[in-house]
Amino acid sequence: MAVDRVGGVDLIHLRSFVAVAEERSFTRAATRLHMAASPLSRRIKDLEREFGASLFVRAHHRVDLTPAGDALLPRAIEVLDRADALGDVVRRADARIPRQAVVGIAPEVSATVRDTFLADLAAHHPDIVPRLLPASTEPLLGDLRAGNVDLALVHGPVGGAGLRSLFLERQPVGVAVGAAAIADERTSISLADLVEIPFASITHDAAPEIYRNLDDLLNRNGIRKRITLTGDNFVGLAHLVATGQAFTLVGLGNGMANRLFHGEPVRILPIDGVRARITTVAVWRANREDAEDLIADLVDTVSMLDPGAHREERSAGGGPAAEVDR
C-alpha cells in the first residue's frame, strides 16, 4: 500500500532524506534508490525548503547531517516504518486480502533451502504470496535497506546497522573446469593444478566479502590470472568454463550456478587440501520485523527451517562468513 504524504510532508522526499543520511553520500543513496544523483539532490532541496532548514552539510566527497537533520532522522525512519505498516493494518481488518512479500534470492541458495522455505510459508501463512527476486547478494542488500525487498536469502557474511540475520546452510565449494583440461579419472583437484587457467567470476560488487576471501585463497595458491564478467553474467561464465578458457568455483550443492553446467563438458570437483565453503543466511531489517506483521511472519518461517545439519543462532550483526580454511 503506497502512502504519498503524511502531515503535509512528501514521503518520497522523506525516503530520499533517509537514504542520503544513512549512506552519507548522494551517489550511494541514488544507487540505493535506483535513480540519478541530480533529481535526488533536488528532492532534498525541496524537503529543506518545506521544512525551512538545512538538513545536510555538503562538503567535498562527504555529506554530514546538520543538527536539524540529525533530529529528523530517527523520526523520519519511524514515520516511514509506520506508513509501510499501514498495509498490515488493513489486511488484519480484512483477512481476505492477500499479503504480497518480495523475497530476494541469491544464485547459490540451494533448492533445498528455497523449496523448504516456500513450502513452510504456504503451510503456516497461506495468505502470504511470495514473489522471488533473483539477484546477487550486494544488490539484494541494497534493495532490502531501501525497503524494496522484505526478506533476502543471500550469502554471508552480512553486516550493517539495523539488519538481523539467521544462518541457514553452509555448503562446500568446488572447482568447475572444462573436461578437456583435466584427466578423466580425477575425482578431486588441487588449485595448484590450475595456475595456467584464468579464474572467471562475475563482478566482485555482487558479493564483495566473498570475493575478497576467494581472491586471497587463489593468490595463496599461485593463481594470478582473472577474468571478471560484468553484471550477473552466469551464462557467459558457463561458456568460458565449458570451452576451457577459464575455471570457476561453485557450491557443490544444488545451487543455480552449479546447474548452469549440467549438460556441458564440465567437471565439478572437490578441492584437495582446502575446505572452502559458502554460507547462506536469511536477512531482514530489524525495525520492520518489530513494526510489521508481514516481516515477523517471514522471519518466523525461516526460523523453522532446518535444511542442513549446521544451525546457528540469529544475530544482529550478520551471519557466519563465507569461509576458507587455511
**Any residues with CB less than 8 A from the CB of 134 and at least 6 apart, and which?**
104, 105, 106, 107, 256
227, 291: one domain: no
- Domain match, 180 and 259 both: yes
Q: Are 266 and 148 part of one and the same domain? A: no
77 shares its domain with 118? no
Contacts for 123 with CB less than 8 Å, ≥ 6 apart = none
pTM over 0.75: no
Q: Which CATH number do you get for residue 252? A: 3.40.190.10
Lowest mean pLDDT among 32-36, 184-188, 242-246: 184-188
* pLDDT tens digits, one per residue of 175-209: 999 998 887 788 899 999 999 999 998 775 666 77
What range defines the domain where residue 75 resides? 5-84
At 322, the pLDDT band (50, 70, 90 cuts) reads very low
Are both 226 and 159 inside the same structural domain? Answer: no
